[in-house]
Amino acid sequence: MINQQHTVFDWQQGMPSVLEPAGLAVAHYKMGFLGDQRSQLFPRQWLREQLAEHILVEQGIGHLNGEPVFVFEVDTPLELPNLQWHSMRHFMLEGRMPLFRLLAFASQIGTWAREHRFCGACGQPMQQAVGHRMMQCTPCRLQNYPRLAPCMIVVVTRGDEILLGRSPRFVSGMYSALAGYAEPNETIEQCVEREVREEVSLEVKNIRYIGSQNWPFPHSLMLGFHAEYKSGDIVPEPEEIEDARWFSVHDLPPLPAQHSIARYLIDLYVAQRLGQTEPVLPS
């Protein structure tokens, strides 16, 4: 096991080559990681021996305290003695953000590599390009890079009130800001207007960009906004929103987890409205 108490993860230092003999590794399967209560990082050679033929692909993801780190994407969540599989949300809720950022990047790269083992045009096996993050098909020359889906998340306000909704997928009682993916040929501001209109039948104005957060569930870039109510009555779109309502900044429902941009946008408006210290944007 690897001590993760004092770690510096650098994914920009360079992509470690799979030809490197040593290093650390994590095992990934559908946004879950193998480990115990102390660590999800193992000596690379040892982990490779445990996973054996279950490894679909191997990708270098960066360096931890200067040592190369790799992700093994496996075909099944196989059982190993004294180890368990934990979801990405488990690590986010734990609040160990350096570890979460490492695993978030590993999850996105592992998912991308799993889904691009074969060419989407001709069906032939894809090859990892040398020196940079790309899968390529030799016969038809198709190239695939890790994808990132832009989406917006917005806090809509009306004086001391914040519009919050809940999806059927949320934990019981929790409400959050509205969110949605950008469509082809629209700006992100147009996406804000459209999603609010579609999800709750309201019109908004004075749309203002606040900040962004990478959201690895599975590969989104969340662009956070604040918008003011313009007109309309709340009519939830039943397939997306099971309830939406105005909440006073003095009486909010259960909210999303700390370290999420949804929680940051809500807390930021509350702090501004009540003259409190503003929160820090999660990185």
> Within 13 A of 77's CA, how many CA atoms are on the CB side?
12
Q: Mark out the alpha helices in the chain (DSSP H runs).
A: 44-51, 88-94, 97-115, 188-200, 261-274
Of 156, 170, 115, give the one whose Cα is nearest residue 269: 156
Q: Are strands 143-144 and 9-10 parallel, antiparallel or unpaired?
A: unpaired
0.85 exceeded by pTM:
yes
Q: Which CATH architecture has domain 149-274?
A: Alpha-Beta Complex (3.90)
Mean pLDDT calculated for residue range 103-113: 95
Q: Which of 143, 144, 163, 168 is nearest to 153 (CA)?
A: 163
What confidence score (pLDDT) does residue 250 get? 97
pLDDT at 19: 66
Q: Who has greater pLDDT, 147 or 247?
A: 247
Q: Which residues of 154-172 are buried (b: 16+ CB within 10 A; e: fewer)?
A: bbbbeeeebbbbbeeeeee
* Every domain of the chain and the residues it spans: 9-115, 149-274
State the alpha helices, DSSP H only, in 25-95: 44-51, 88-94
For the beta carbon of residue 32, count every other beta carbon within 10 angstroms. 19
Q: What are the residues whose beta carbons fall under 8 Å from the beta carbon of 91, sequence distance 6 or more?
A: 33, 99, 100, 103
The per-residue pLDDT for range 187-201, each reduced to its tens digit, is 999 999 999 999 999
Q: What is the pLDDT of residue 267?
A: 98
Does 13 have pLDDT greater than 70?
Answer: no
**pLDDT at 3 exceeding the cut of 90:** no
Q: Say what the pLDDT of residue 104 is.
A: 94
3-state secondary structure of 192: helix
8 band by pLDDT with thresholds 50, 70 and 90 = low
> Lowest mean pLDDT: which of 9-13, 203-207, 240-244?
9-13
Q: What is the pLDDT of residue 83?
A: 94
Which architecture, in CATH terms, is 9-115? Alpha-Beta Complex (3.90)
pLDDT of residue 5: 46
Mean pLDDT value of segment 249-265: 95
Residue 112 has pLDDT above 80, yes or no: yes
Q: pLDDT tens, 44-90?
A: 999 999 999 999 999 999 988 888 999 999 999 999 999 999 998 88
Amino acid 92 reads M
